[in-house]
Structures are given as C-alpha cells and as structure tokens.
Amino acid sequence: MGKKQETYSLEENFSRLEETMERLEQEDLPLEEAFRAYSEGMAILKQCNDQIDRVEKQVLKLNEDGQLEEFEDGSTGV
C-alpha cells in the first residue's frame, strides 16, 4: 500500500475511466482481473468526483453590480 498516488487532470481521469470500462466490457476478462479493474475504476471515479467538487467550490458568478462573488447553489449540505 505504500504506493504514491499519481495526480491526473480531470480529463486524464475521464480517459483512464473510459479505458477501465472498456476492459471490464471484455467477455474473456478473468474474474480477478475484472475485480481489479472495477476497484481501479471506482478509485478513479472518486478522484473525478473530488476534482469536480473542488472546481464547484471555486466557481464564481457576476452579481448585479458587476462584481465577482462565490456561487451559491442554495443547497444546504456541504
């Protein structure tokens, strides 16, 4: 487990996720390899979600006075 986690851009993670899904769709994929691919895909998906969450928190909007302010979507749980 002492493996250093690499950092990928959101686009790279989407590409990696797509490749993982293609591997999982192979009919002759051994069960153990399918489980590893599934686990890898779930980890990549979590990274994507974390990256999107970070970006959403940084989104700004232009108010009526032409000033930038943080975007608030009205949701209550974060």
Domain boundaries, the chain: 10-70
Are the C-beta atoms of residues 62 and 68 closer than 8 Å to each other?
yes
pTM over 0.85: no
As a whole-number percent, the residues of the chain with pLDDT over 70 amount to 72
Mean pLDDT in residue range 47-67: 79
Where do we find the tokens 């990696």? 16
Mean pLDDT in residue range 47-68: 79
Mean pLDDT in residue range 7-36: 95
Tell me, what's the pLDDT at 67? 73
Q: Residues of 22-55 as b/e, b for ≥16 C-beta within 10 angstroms? A: eeeeeeeeeeeeeeebeebbeebeebbeebeeee
Tell me, what's the pLDDT at 38? 97
Mean pLDDT in residue range 21-35: 95
